[in-house]
Each structure stands twice: as structure tokens, then as C-alpha cells.
Amino acid sequence: MPEQPPPTTPLLPTPLMELASGFWSFKTYAGAIEIGLFDLLADGRGLTVEEVSEQLGIELRPADLLLAGCASLGLLDKHGDRYRNAALAEEFLVTKRPYYFGGFVRYLDRREYPAWQHFVRALRTNRPTTWAPGAQESLFDTEDPETLQLFWDCMFSISVFTARALAEVYDFTRHTRLLDVGGGAGAFPLELCGRFKNLSATVLDLPPVCELARQKISEAQLEGIVDARPGDFHHDPALPAGYDAIVLSMILHDWDEDANRVLLRKCRAALPSGGVVLICELLLNDERTGPPTAALMGMNMLIETEGGKNYSGAEYRTWLLDAGFTRVEVLPLAAAGANGVVIGYVS
């Protein structure tokens, strides 16, 4: 008898359902932060549905649904009839924890989630929907200081872990002076200078952001080792000299190719022999088919920027060589804010 072909697995829409309902997870997560659930359950506190209902001031049904939803997402553990924060929530979702991640979630929920409702408009017009070019100077031009504070807090939390991942794959003992271009509140300099005692660093950013960085520097007791220097890397004709390593972390995805090439030429002009530029980003593969974290961050750039997108390691390699860097290396990273670092070397 002829051999029978193996049975085929029927095609089901289950993956499409998971994609379509992804916002259920996000809004459950964001709502729990906004209502104060993880703060309520901090420090190992375990509460029943009834106790959560009473202490959050919500009715029993939504309390029951919220606890079940957060437990299903791995944010809560249940022991008997009591819910407690899972380790991930206890570490990152309790207010005032050192690496509080809730600011990032609240920023997305308040600013980006509403803007994504107009995503098709962004596709058709090639214009951001979180701000209005022409009416506002930049995406950071807002009358809501809390939104900006949430943004910088979330970027600091993400960047700390990217800096740690970078320190695992790149040896900074060969450098003495680090310039963090667009460095925000200073997560990279604080983390790297705390680990590499040979290193001092400067955050280069806009004046209001430098004030945030100085607060963080003071809290870390690294005055004299890390400083903040006002500047506009996009409009200033040159970057400051005197540094043998330059970091660009989650910067280049905000701009188009022409602007990025200009900035990389500025980096090359500022660096001495033996210097490096380190580009930390969520990198697309060279075929531009993934990974999803990089591709979807690129989609987010459509609603946040006028020309930004996520790029591949191959694209950065071409730009760096064209800018005069003599060798380029791409190393993987395991971090929420970057999956790789592209290193341009100066001979």
C-alpha cells in the first residue's frame, strides 16, 4: 500500500486572537499600577479579595477580576485565599523601589496608548500622533510636567539595566572619559562609573534634563566623577572633545538616516585614536523581519517622531564606516531597552 502522508495540523486563528487581545494584558497591568494594587501588597503583605476590595475602595467583582487577571500575568502569587506580589512586581512595580518600572507603564498608558488610537492616521500622513510638529518644538515640548517626569523616570529604570548588560560584554577599563550623548538622568554614567573605578563621565543633554541628572549624581554620591553638561547634540556644530568613549543609547531610533549620519560624523570628529562609539539599541535583523521588540519599537517611532525608526546592525555598520570609523563590531545584549550594541572603533 502507498505510504499515507502524516496528518496535518488544522490552521487555527488562536495566534490572531492573542494578537488582537494583547491590550487586555496591558490595560490590566496599567490599571493595577494606577489604582495602587502593588503598593497595597508590598513587603510580602497578603490580602483576600474582600480586603483588597475594601482597601482600594472598589467593589468585590472588579477586585476579584483584577486579582485573577494580575495573577494570570505572573504579577501576583496566591497562597490559600490571599494574594501577594510576585517577585517581579515586588522588585519593579512598588513605588519608591530603586528601579521602579511603573513610571514607564504609566507613561505608555497616558501618552502613547491614546496616540495609538490614531495609528492609521500616522500611517497615512507619516506624522506623529503624540505631538503636533509645527505647533510644538519637539516631542518633549509639553505643558504636563508629570508626563515628562514619568518619561525620564522610566528611561532611567530601563537604561540602568542596559548599562549593566553593556558592562558584561564590553571592557571599559581601556577608557578613562565617557560622554553619554542624550544621556537623560545619567543611568549609564552612574552605573558604569560605579563599576569601573578608572572611569569618569559626562551626561550631555538639554538644560532641564541636566538638572535631573545632577539630582541622580548627588544621590549616588558621584560628584566629581560624573557631571552633566548642557548641550543639544542635534543642533550644536560639534560634540565636546576630551572623551575616549561615547555612548548613544536609544538615541538614533528617534531620527532619520541623514540626521544619524551627521551625529555619527560628530562622534568620529570628537574621538581620539583608540576611541569608540557604542550604540545601544533594539536592533532589527539584517533582513528587517524581526525580532518583534525591535520592529514594534520602530512602529512606536511612527507615532512619536517625525523620522525615527529602528535600524539593523548592517545599517549602523555602513554609517559608521562611512563616517570614518575603521572597524565595527556588533555584540548581543540581554536588556529590555537594547538587544545589541554596535561598536565603532577609531584606529
Q: What is the pLDDT of residue 142?
A: 61
Catalytic residue among 175, 234, 235, 253: 253
Q: Which fold has domain 105-345?
A: Rossmann fold (3.40.50)
| Predicted structure pTM score | 0.93
Reference 198, options 223, 178, 169; nearest CA is 178
Q: What is the pLDDT of residue 319?
A: 98
Is the CB of residue 302 less than 8 Å from the CB of residue 121? no
pLDDT, one tens digit per residue, over 203-232 is 999 999 999 999 999 999 999 999 999 999
Cell of 337: 531597552
- Domain-wise residue ranges, the chain: 14-97, 105-345
Cell of 293: 521588540
For 284-314, b/e burial (b = at least 16 CB within 10 A) is beeeeeeeebbbebbbbbbbbbbebbbbbbb
Q: Residue 79 catalytic? A: no
Q: What is the pLDDT of residue 154?
A: 78
Cβ of 8: how many Cβ atoms within 10 Å?
6
Which residue is listed with cell 505631538? 131
| Measured torsion, CA atoms of residues 106, 112, 115, 120, in degrees rounded to the nearest 10 | -140
Q: Where are the alpha helices (DSSP H) in 136-186?
A: 145-169
14-97 CATH: 1.10.10.10
pLDDT, one tens digit per residue, over 323-347 is 999 999 999 999 999 999 999 999 9
Q: What is the pLDDT of residue 6?
A: 74
Cell of 200: 569618569
3-state percent breakdown (helix, strand, coil) of the chain, nearest 5: 50, 15, 35
Q: What is the pLDDT of residue 167?
A: 97
DSSP tag of 223: B
Distances (CA, A) of 329 to 74, 196, 333: 37, 22, 13
From first to last of its 347 residues, the chain has per-residue pLDDT tens of 567 767 788 899 999 999 999 999 999 999 999 999 999 999 999 999 999 999 999 999 999 999 999 999 999 999 999 999 999 999 999 998 988 899 889 989 998 999 999 999 999 999 999 988 877 776 666 656 777 777 788 788 899 999 999 999 999 999 999 999 999 999 999 999 999 999 999 999 999 999 999 999 999 999 999 999 999 999 999 999 999 999 999 999 999 999 999 999 999 999 999 999 999 999 999 999 999 999 999 999 999 999 999 999 999 999 999 999 999 999 999 999 999 999 999 99
DSSP tag of 151: H
Q: What is the pLDDT of residue 308?
A: 97
Distance, CA of 104 to CA of 99 (rounded, Å):
11
List of E strands, 209-321? 226-230, 245-249, 276-281
Distances (CA, A) of 248 to 16, 118, 128, 158: 36, 30, 23, 14
